[in-house]
Amino acid sequence: QHRIEFSADGETLGLALKAHGSWRQPLWQGVVEEASVAPADRPVWRLQQPADLRIDDGQVSLSRSCLKGQVVSLCGEASGNRQQQTAAIELGSLPLALVGPWLPRQAGEAIDIGGELSGSARIERLGENLRAELALDSRDGHINYAVSENERLLEWQSLALRATLADGQLKANLQGHVEGDGTLDASIDGGSPLDNPDAAINGRLHMALPRLRALSLVEPELSDASAKLDGDLSVSGTWQAPQFSGRLLVDALQAEIPALGLKLSDSRLRLDSDDGSRFRLSGEVNSGEGVLSVDGSVDPFAEGDRADLQIRGERVLASDTSLLHVLVSPDLHLNWHAEQGVRLDGKIGVPEGRLDLERIENSVAPSADVVVSDPRPGRGEAGALPIHAEVTVEIGDALRLRGFGFDGRVEGSLAIRERPGRSPTGRGTVSVSGKYQAYGQNLDIKRGRLLFANSALDNPSLDVRAEREFEQQTVGLEVRGTALLPILDVYSDPPLDQAEALSYLVLGRPLRSASGADGAQLGQAAAAIGGNLLAGQLGDRIGLDIGVADSKALGGAAVSVGKYLSPRLYLGYGVSLFGSGQVVTFKYIINRLWEAEVESGRENRVGLNYTLER
């Protein structure tokens, strides 16, 4: 006597089995007493009656047995020996939702699939001859994102698949009524791919879908996408090297791209092929008042997928958000190869735009203390294709930038070059005009140039003059060096010494009228421009101690303004150079070696300092 008990539990499925049997040579006979399948959050399927299992001198048989749930049923039987085997399965009302947990996610979102699947299959093998029949039917099904149950991406009223394999020939046909009035009809026949992967095939596909909404399954960045899809394709060649010919037309395309604030309308794409290999791709995408046209070829069946496209447009709306509103006029040639990478050449005109520098800066990266508990790899991070690019960006005079004290326009031409494994570089000049607010004052930019000499895009050379005019005096800032290491100088006409010119620049009045309350503002400006020496000169002129030093309370460099109220008592006020912190300091000299210090800011500190002179 033999007895078997088995059980297994997983996140999506549980299994259980009980059976017994006995051996009396040459016969082994057993009975499957109980069996169950427990899908997560679904009724359990249970064996309706015991199933007999016999093994008799090479002959194996399993009597007809059925698992049934609340709605679903799965029945099967099998028998065979060394020369002949037969198996049959019948499936009734299987909820397609059971497949959901195994479907790939799209942009991190789970896919929900609804409807039922019924069908049957029968397999017979006699010697080397294999015969098989398959029939599957599904009615009233749908696919959507799990978080948007009411937004159907794809619906079908009926789908029917029929397939037969006999005498080494496979024939299959799929028919369906999809998306209301849509139809789907596909068929293929050819030699069995199990016997010969190089067997010849012949097939066709006809699609007429007036309301296609499943585009976001292909491109997750799209939202509220819909289009009309018509297609007639023929397939020939072999299973390993199929060749397609015919046409596919996506018409009346409408979609939103929320990340860019775009609404695409009345767009179309067309694929045509006559030779069964390379497809010609053409299309137009309407965005804003502009039209983006695409024309070229794609070769998805060559060794390594390939595409060669020309992309053109005039005043195409590329982004329309509160951060960035920009129109582009591209004239680009794109060559894409699945193994060799991407090559991009041409130019992009930027005739008009608006850019909020501060909001983009704040949206680029999370703060240093942000911890991502469930990081998702960005698209294209793994196995990214190498990029070769030679693109000239031509900026018109209607591109407006605001933020970080700047309010003005930029224009110019910049040739951008990118190579695999290297940071992008630029060559050209971008001119800047407008106003710049520094130290609470509005300065007119009289000359502004960003110079790129095959330099990194984030580190151009600077040639900027911004100034402020009075009745008989002009003062300003001159910025040289690079963006990462700028050099600032104060200039004046007629000439003034640096401290006096800085007072005009920051306060709008001569230094003799500056008060102690102006000290911190002047000191911070002096530290940014000329360092501790200029700060000290200002302090001497206004009767305060001004300096630049490291502050533990502010966690970095700070400008300090203070005064000894008595020979032993000092009161100071500090402002962080690189942050928003402030601190008030009291010092009392106890004797030649000891002093007490109290700091009140973001943190309160009390210290006793000991000084040893050598």
Instruction: Reduce the DSSP state of residue 281 to 3 states and report it.
Output: strand
Q: HSE on the CB side for 480, CA within 13 Å?
A: 4
- Tell me the residue type at 126: L
Return the closest-CA partner of residue 525 out of 535, 511, 536, 533.
535
228: how many CB neighbours lie within 10 A of its CB?
A: 17
Taking residue 432's Cβ as centre, other Cβ atoms within 10 Å add up to 21
Confidence at residue 570, expressed as pLDDT on a 0 to 100 scale: 65
Query: What is the arrangement of strands in the sheet containing 594-600, beginning at the earlier edge strand?
Result: 545-551, 556-564, 569-576, 582-589, 594-600, 604-610
Where are the chain's structural domains?
Answer: 1-82, 84-258, 278-362+386-413, 521-610
* DSSP designation for 386: P
Interstrand relation of 341-356 and 387-403 (parallel, antiparallel or unpaired): parallel
- pLDDT, position 534: 39
**DSSP secondary-structure letter at 259?**
G
Low-confidence ranges of the chain (pLDDT < 70): 105-109, 145-151, 217-218, 276-277, 301-304, 358-384, 438-440, 498, 507-509, 511-586, 588, 590-591, 598, 600-604, 606, 612-614
For residue 470, the number of C-alpha atoms closer than 13 Å in the C-beta half-sphere is 18
Nearest CA among 45, 51, 60, 44 for reference residue 18:
51
CA 553 to chain centre: 40
154: helix, strand or coil: strand
DSSP 495-542: ---HHHHHHHHHHSS-GGG--GGGHHHHHHHHHHHTHHHHHHHHHHHH
In the chain, the amino acid numbered 348 is I
Question: What is the reported pLDDT for 63?
Answer: 93
Contact 464, 431 (CB under 8 A): no
614 burial via Cβ count (<10 Å: 0-12, 13-18, 19+): exposed
Query: How far lies 519's CA from each of 136, 538, 544, 545, in Å?
Result: 84, 8, 7, 9
Per-residue model confidence (pLDDT) at position 496: 82
- Asked if 322 and 355 touch (Cβ cutoff 8 Å), the reply is no
Whole-number CA gyration radius for the chain: 38
**Two tokens, residue 492:** 């004046």
Kindly provide the residue ranges of all beta strands, DSSP E only, lying in 146-257, ordered along the sequence.
154-166, 169-178, 182-191, 201-212, 223-237, 242-257
Residue 296 in 3-state DSSP? strand
Please give the sequence-ordered ranges of beta strands (E in DSSP) within 357-405, or none if there are none.
387-403
Question: Angle of helix 531-542 relative to helix 498-507, nearest 10 degrees?
Answer: 80
Rounded-to-5 percentages of helix, strand, coil across the chain: 10, 65, 25
Residue 28 contacts by C-beta under 8 Å, 6 or more apart in sequence?
21, 22, 54, 55, 56
How many whole angstroms separate alpha carbon 413 and alpha carbon 19?
80
SS3 194: coil
∠ Cα 556 559 561 (to 5°): 140
